[in-house]
Amino acid sequence: MAKVIVVTSGKGGVGKTTTTAALGAALAQHGQRVVVVDFDVGLRNLDLVMGAERRVVYDLTYVAEGKVRLPQALIRDKRIETLFLLAASQTRDKDALTDEGVERVIGELRSSFDWIVCDSPAGIERGATLAMRYADLAVVVTNPEVSSVRDSDRIIGLLDAKTEKASRGERMEKHLLLTRYDPIRAGRGDMLGIEDVLDILSIPLLAVIPESEEVLRASNIGSPVTISSPKSAPARAYDEAAQRLMGVDVPISIPNGRSGLLTRLFGRRAA
């Protein structure tokens, strides 16, 4: 059965789009049929990070309005056969995207994909609530930094209030994905630690992505980091996150920074 993931954070610039691309690609690399959907109308960037910016003809708004059929707007990835992109509109008005339109598109996507990964815009306005509304589970992207943690807390509140799942009285599944983590600075006490963030936000940990130059390099060349540099620490962390979402019991790698090696930590598991 198809699963709809929303990648969200509240705060901008914490790595939602990078995470959507990397997680989507990692799932597809395991043979899953995946579509990554950009909900950031007017400020689309998932196409750029995926390296498909010159191939966008139709977008989510066109499909939601019924102006084109879904297959016309889906862009197949050139590297992984089972990976697709549905871009956001760069020129249309934000309000052109309606609740009903999005619900219908998500419903259609459910019948042809295993995973629908929705890249939420920053903020808590309509675009963000629309991206999360029909999700089955949420990946909350957080930096170990006060403003990001605060905004994530706010988003967690919205996930429990504004999603279809929540309104049906069901529990919204939420996972923390900590990005730009620097184990050396955390070890010195100059950066919030993993435990600190987990204690404050009280949602299960999905992955810790270490601060790495590979992440910027990947977006520079328009490739998800799991494709451009699959052996790098961030790519491995994203790959493990993908496996965990697929139900494979993989321990969470915690960067320790001492030797650049990763310590296996068996204590924490995704719910």
Closer Cβ to other proteins, 2 or 198, answer by number: 198
The minimum distance between CB 158 and other proteins, in angstroms, equals: 8
Please report how close the Cβ of residue 177 comes to other proteins at its closest, in angstroms. 18
Minimum separation from the CB atom of position 31 to other proteins (A)? 35
Examine residue 14 and tell whether it contacts other proteins (CB under 8 A): no
Alpha-carbon span 234 to 138, nearest angstrom: 20
Cα separation, 36 vs 117, whole angstroms = 5
Identify whether the C-beta of residue 17 lies closer than 8 Å to the C-beta of residue 119. Answer: yes
Residue 23, helix vs strand vs coil: helix
Q: Is 269 in the site for other proteins (CB under 8 A)?
A: no
Give the other-Cβ count within 10 Å of 160's Cβ.
14
Listed ranges 27-35, 128-136, 151-159, 248-256: which one lies at the site for other proteins (CB under 8 A):
151-159
Beta carbon of residue 118, minimum distance to other proteins (angstroms, whole number): 22
SS3 178: strand
d(CA 63, CA 16): 23
Interacting positions 156-215 with other proteins (CB under 8 A): 156-157, 160-161, 171, 186, 188-193, 196, 199-200, 202
Q: Of residues 46-65, which lie at the interface with other proteins (CB under 8 A)? A: none
Beta bridge partners of 116: 4, 35
CB nearer to other proteins: pick between 13 and 187: 187
User: By CB under 8 A, is residue 250 in contact with other proteins?
Assistant: no
Task: Identify the residue among 153, 164, 182, 214 touching other proteins (CB under 8 A).
Answer: 153
Please name the residue that has the structure tokens 């992440």.
Answer: 215
Q: Is 271 in the site for other proteins (CB under 8 A)?
A: no
The answer to whether 101 and 65 have CB atoms below 8 angstroms apart is yes
* Burial class of 200 by CB neighbour count within 10 A (0 to 12, 13 to 18, 19+): middle
Q: Which residues bind other proteins (CB under 8 A)?
A: 145-146, 149-150, 153-154, 156-157, 160-161, 171, 186, 188-193, 196, 199-200, 202
